[in-house]
A = this chain, B = another copy of it.
Amino acid sequence: MSHFESLDPLFHPRSIALAGITIANPEHWTRVFLDALIEIGFEGPIYLVNPKGGEIQGYKVYKSLRDIPGTVDYVISTVPAQASPELVEECDTKGVRAIHFCTAGFSETGEQEGARLEAQLVEASRRKGIRIIGPNCMGIYCPQSRLSFSIAFPQESGHVAFVSQSGGNAGGLVRLAAWRGVRFSKGISYGNACDLDESDFLEYLADDPDTKIIGLYIEGVKDGARFHRALERAAKEKVVVLLKGGITHGGSRAAAGHTGSLAGAEVIWDALCRQFGIIRVYSLEEMADILQTLLFMPIPKGRNVALIGAGGGNSVLVADEFEKKGLIVPQLPQEIVHRIREFSPAAGNIFRNPIDYSQTIMETGKLGELVSIVSAWESIDFLIGFLDLGFAAPQTLRSGELSRWADAMSEMIPASSKPIAMVPQLSVVPGHANELMIIAQAFISSQVPTYMSFASAATSINLLLTYKECYPGRLEALRG
């Protein structure tokens, strides 16, 4: 049996038992898995287990795993750390092949008792041949199997997989990326990795036909040499994006306390990424942005960008932001400026690049004409349409003004003959934020790459272009 075949059943359990679920309090954290499985519509039987017995939402609560009438493929455990080794024994008699231990309180505490309990878990699982995910993690998300560890995760499948040592960051990434239109094949939050670890999941995903992109959040690895091989292979088969936690002294101390990891030197991680062609990011937002970019940004031929939008003073800072990140903001030649000037007043508009079209942007049709002329220019490889409300207080906007700006931006998309992305810049002043996100969502739902700041657009598009330049064939494979 191949490694892929041996792990694949974890992602497709036919029945699940939730061991340790709280009876009394429907808002207790041990309830999240039941809520998630009901919401996403897990199709096999869900068995609840708690020594007290009883009933939750029409589900019988068994006092012991042994009392469950049917077979149990997969157990999600929220029993206290102390009760975990005993649970492994019960699972063995029931014929369970895999357990996800959500509970914390093991080696990550840095305390002897936690380390002892974790060693006991490993020993028991090895003896019984039961695979363990965790402890101290959120487990598996696989929309295709209707398997999820949180409500409000997308129900549809996609082609991005993630492997995250942290449960919080796994959830954070799904939310940030899903909002940007990213959908997932599989996701794993693996925590302390006492049995199955990052290398196991990387090897699995490298062979997974449903996965095209792998996002990794890693604090530290258990077996460096094996991870090295797994990462090299994964990067050959898929596009791999890495967010490394614990790159400073303080961060690696936090990682030790979080998932019991030794973080390793930053310089080694940097070298690994260069050697294997891994895209490196530095925050969850950057991870979500590059996933969106890899999926939806048509690949520009080069680094020359035309920035078209509203907000004069800021145009200068926007150009700085893009050029600092390695993109090029070429000046419009006089010939093009003249063509635009034929239908646009000079005052209040700026016809260099960025093109600040504030004064004319609301006049329907003219923005499309402008975009069509600029995108046809041979020295432009892609366009950014922007709306920067930094100049305006919520009180200064007239009723419906925000949606008229959004409509004007939409006109740019069909008018452009080159790849185009949108930046409805998130201004950190109350009143605009949720509305701007709704505007962004409209673009995202049409699969137009959309960023909430100029900096994040520039960072992501630079990463895309760098990847394309270094590994010419790989993006074609991704898009094909």
Contact = CB atoms under 8 A, between A and B. Distances in A.
A327 B25 CA distance: 42
A249 B326 CA distance: 11
Interface stretch (A46-54, A108-116, A232-240): A108-116
Contacts of A393: 150-152, 175
Nearest to A346: B109
Interface string A149-190: 011100000000000111111111001100100000000000
Interface in A8-57: 27, 32
Interface in A393-439: 393-396, 398, 426-431, 433-434, 437-438
Nearest to A348: B104
A323 B250 contact: yes
Contacts of A330: 250
A80 B398 CA distance: 24
A431 B438 CA distance: 10
- In the complex, the count of this chain's copies comes to 2
Contacts of A152: 393-396
Contacts of A168: 311-314, 390-391
B111 A346 contact: yes
A328 interface: yes
Interface string A358-395: 00000000000000000000000000000000111111
A144 interface: no
A222 interface: no
A324 B323 CA distance: 23
Contacts of A478: none
A447 interface: no
A284 interface: yes
A245 B316 CA distance: 6
Given A319-B253, A354-B254, A217 B172 contact: no
Nearest to A398: B27
Contacts of A80: 347
Given A27-B398, A152-B395, A429-B175, A313 B248 contact: no
A285 interface: yes
Given A253-B353, A313-B164, A428 B441 contact: no
A257 interface: yes
A357 to B, nearest CB: 12
A258 interface: yes
Nearest to A173: B390
A477 interface: no
A415 to B, nearest CB: 22
A172 B283 contact: no
A253 B390 CA distance: 21
A129 interface: no
Given A248-B319, A320-B247, A346-B109, A390 B176 contact: yes
Nearest to A106: B347
A333 interface: no
A105 B245 contact: no
A452 interface: yes
Q: Which one of A110, A253, A348 has the highest number of Cβ atoms from chain B below 10 Å of its Cβ?
A: A253
A351 interface: yes
Interface in A254-289: 254-258, 283-285
B169 A390 contact: yes
A316 B219 CA distance: 8
Contact of A347 (B105, B318, B427): B105
Contacts of A311: 168
Contact of A151 (B108, B169, B396): B396
Contacts of A429: 175-176, 179, 437
A254 B352 contact: yes
Contact of A245 (B245, B285, B317, B350): B317
A251 interface: yes
A96 interface: no
14 contacts: A32-B396, A80-B347, A151-B396, A166-B312, A169-B391, A172-B313, A175-B427, A245-B316, A246-B319, A248-B329, A251-B323, A251-B329, A253-B353, A284-B390
Given A248-B329, A249-B323, A249-B329, 10 more contacts: A152-B393, A166-B312, A179-B429, A248-B322, A250-B319, A256-B352, A258-B313, A426-B433, A428-B437, A430-B441
Considering the complex of A and B, which 3 residue pairs feature the smallest CB-CB distances, nearest first? Answer: A166-B313, A250-B329, A248-B323
